[in-house]
């Protein structure tokens, strides 16, 4: 039986295919709200776990199957930047990231009858200073919508990144190193 992916993200499907993993997609629309006093890391891991569990349950809670959930958050000064609600929100996020270094937390979780595990990739990303015309053109192009922090490293926003320390795939939305470690725990070896 194939792995369940509790996400509608085409980027996550593509990243899994990159390492030879085919999945059944069972997206879960869960509220993503950071609790008062919850650290960005605890929030990120909780959401990934909740998605994995919800995907497994939505697919019938078959004890022979496992579900994978993931969550990616951009963090600056302890503020979590989720997906912008509109163009103005995207522009505000990008303006605050301009010329600064932020953190990207990308957690992946596996859930099933025999496992409830999560691993996290932490990356640092430094943006160049973005002028008003660049911001306006990028936001108008629509790429920020549906992206944590209002940008897609796998798209045009790659031009904004002066330095990346960590996981490129994690910043894209699914840290493949951590994912492969979890998959091996449930008997799925991408290499073998």
Distance CA 122, CA 106 (A): 7
The question of whether 116 is a catalytic residue gets the answer: no
Tokens matching residue 63: 């004890």
- DSSP code for 162: E
Helix axes 10-18 and 176-185, enclosed angle (nearest 10): 70
CB atoms within 10 A of CB 32: 16
Contacts of 60 (CB under 8 A, 6+ apart): none
CB 99 within 8 A of CB 129: yes
The helix/strand/coil state of 171 is helix
Strand 66-76, strand 79-81: pairing: antiparallel
Helix axes 132-140 and 87-97, enclosed angle (nearest 10): 140
Residue of 71, 78, 86, 114 marked catalytic: 71
Annotated catalytic residues are 71
């Amino acid at each position: 039986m194939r792995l369940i992916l509790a996400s509608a993200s085409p980027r996550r499907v593509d990243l899994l295919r990159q390492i030879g993993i085919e999945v059944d997609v069972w997206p879960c629309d869960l509220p993503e709200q950071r609790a008062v006093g919850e650290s960005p890391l605890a929030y990120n891991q909780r959401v990934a776990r909740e998605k994995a569990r919800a995907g497994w349950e939505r697919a019938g809670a078959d004890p022979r199957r496992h579900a994978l959930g993931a969550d990616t958050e951009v963090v600056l000064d302890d503020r979590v930047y989720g997906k912008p609600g509109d163009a103005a929100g995207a522009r505000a996020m990008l303006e605050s990231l301009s010329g600064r270094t932020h953190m990207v937390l990308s957690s992946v979780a596996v859930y099933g009858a025999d496992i409830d595990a999560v691993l996290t990739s932490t990356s640092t990303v430094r943006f160049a200073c973005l002028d008003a015309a660049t911001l306006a053109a990028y936001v108008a192009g629509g790429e920020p919508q549906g992206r944590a922090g209002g940008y897609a490293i796998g798209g045009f926003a790659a031009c904004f990144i002066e330095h990346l320390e960590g996981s490129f795939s994690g910043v894209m939305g699914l840290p493949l190193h951590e994912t492969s470690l979890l998959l091996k725990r449930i008997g799925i070896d991408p290499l073998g």
